[in-house]
């Protein structure tokens, strides 16, 4: 625990910014160049120096405008700390708590920025594993920065994370079993998007007894049923991101971005009598229920998307378009 006014080398502590399971973050002043920075002090200070450097070295591989950047790592006064970019603003969690459901244009713009950050991290082989609104910073100019990649680890080409790390409301079924893969981050992004569009989580925090229901998709209520202002294509994107079965979920953040960008394409107006989305029903005057929403998602998205390459969810090697088992690691898709 650092205190206000304490100095670590050239850095002077201004105030605490927050604390999590892995470390505490402080606002500090670089007294040499007169600039505000964020300093993260890991809780575990008794590790060897090589272990302490693992997180900053991982963070240094991520260089993207939507990811909090790292400046350096130092050890001063027998305290190891990481110096990072200070983002003046608030967390996405604060924004949702204050504003409730965001309008669809704002929520979609935010989702795009998060997806860009996740896509960049995945290209570097990094899985976040704890993507959620408290770990997303919103600057005063509306730029989003994803933080706390320190709970991540490199995902080797033929392996996946095996440690259960994350926040249960944002975790897909496989992550409860210690299997964190690229598509796991996209599920968490789907939950975050859902929260932005509705102002609330899709379901209560799952308990171990809820896991079978979560795997079946029985806990999920379509966001459009909670907020009828959500356009059906946007509703479908959220539901696909949150598909319990990995094979039915987005495999890459780029695919999700493709569908979000396709929403900007002008579409001919449909006659209200023949457009079920105009009345929020099946087209025959009956209300839309959860089963209708879930059943039609994959079909509607497939109708809009162009064919994309398939990759094994576990080893990430390319798959034939019609295979249901990876020829490299034998994992069922």
Clarify whether 63 is annotated catalytic.
no
10 Å CB burial of residue 210 (0-12, 13-18, 19+) is middle
Task: Please identify which of the residues 119, 130, 148, 236 carries the catalytic annotation.
Answer: 130
Residue linked to tokens 């027998």: 78
CB 40 within 8 A of CB 150: yes
CA dihedral 207, 212, 217, 218 (to 10 degrees): -80
* Coil vs helix vs strand at 114: helix
Task: Pick the closest to residue 87 from 43, 148, 161, 132 (CA basis).
Answer: 148
CB 129 within 8 A of CB 175: yes
Rounded Cα distance, 134 and 195, in Å: 12
Beta bridge partners of 12: 7, 29
Helix ranges (H only) for 199-269 are 211-216, 223-226, 232-241, 253-262
Residue with tokens 């079978």: 212
Active site positions, annotated:
130
């Amino acid at each position: 625990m650092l205190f206000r006014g304490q100095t670590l080398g050239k850095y002077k502590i201004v105030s605490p910014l927050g604390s999590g399971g892995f470390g505490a973050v402080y606002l500090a002043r670089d007294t040499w160049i007169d600039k505000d920075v964020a300093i993260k002090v890991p809780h575990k200070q008794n590790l060897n120096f090589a272990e302490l450097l693992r997180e900053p070295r991982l963070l240094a591989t991520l260089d993207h405008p939507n990811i909090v950047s790292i400046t350096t790592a130092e050890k001063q006064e027998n305290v190891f700390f990481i110096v990072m970019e200070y983002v003046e603003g608030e967390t996405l969690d604060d924004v949702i708590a204050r504003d409730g459901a965001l309008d669809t244009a704002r929520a979609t713009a935010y989702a795009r920025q998060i997806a860009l950050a996740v896509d960049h991290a995945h290209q570097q082989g990094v899985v976040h594993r704890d993507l959620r609104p408290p770990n997303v910073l919103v600057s005063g100019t509306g730029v989003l920065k994803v933080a706390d990649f320190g709970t991540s680890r490199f995902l080797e080409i033929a392996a996946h994370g095996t440690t259960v790390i994350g926040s249960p409301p944002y975790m897909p079924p496989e992550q409860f079993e210690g299997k964190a893969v690229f598509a796991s981050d996209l599920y968490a992004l789907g939950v975050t998007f859902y929260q932005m569009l509705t102002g609330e989580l899709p379901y209560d925090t799952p308990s171990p007894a809820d896991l079978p229901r979560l795997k079946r998709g029985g806990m999920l209520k379509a966001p459009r049923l909670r907020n009828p202002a959500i356009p059906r294509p946007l509703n479908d994107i959220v539901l696909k991101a949150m598909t319990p079965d990995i094979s039915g979920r987005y495999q890459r953040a780029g695919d999700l971005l493709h569908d979000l960008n396709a929403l900007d394409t002008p579409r001919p107006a449909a006659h209200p009598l023949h457009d079920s989305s105009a009345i929020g029903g099946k087209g025959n005057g009956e209300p839309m229920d959860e089963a209708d929403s879930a059943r039609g998602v994959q079909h509607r998205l497939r109708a809009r998307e162009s064919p994309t390459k398939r990759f094994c969810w576990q080893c990430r090697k390319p798959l034939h378009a019609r295979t249901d088992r990876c020829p490299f690691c034998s994992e069922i898709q």
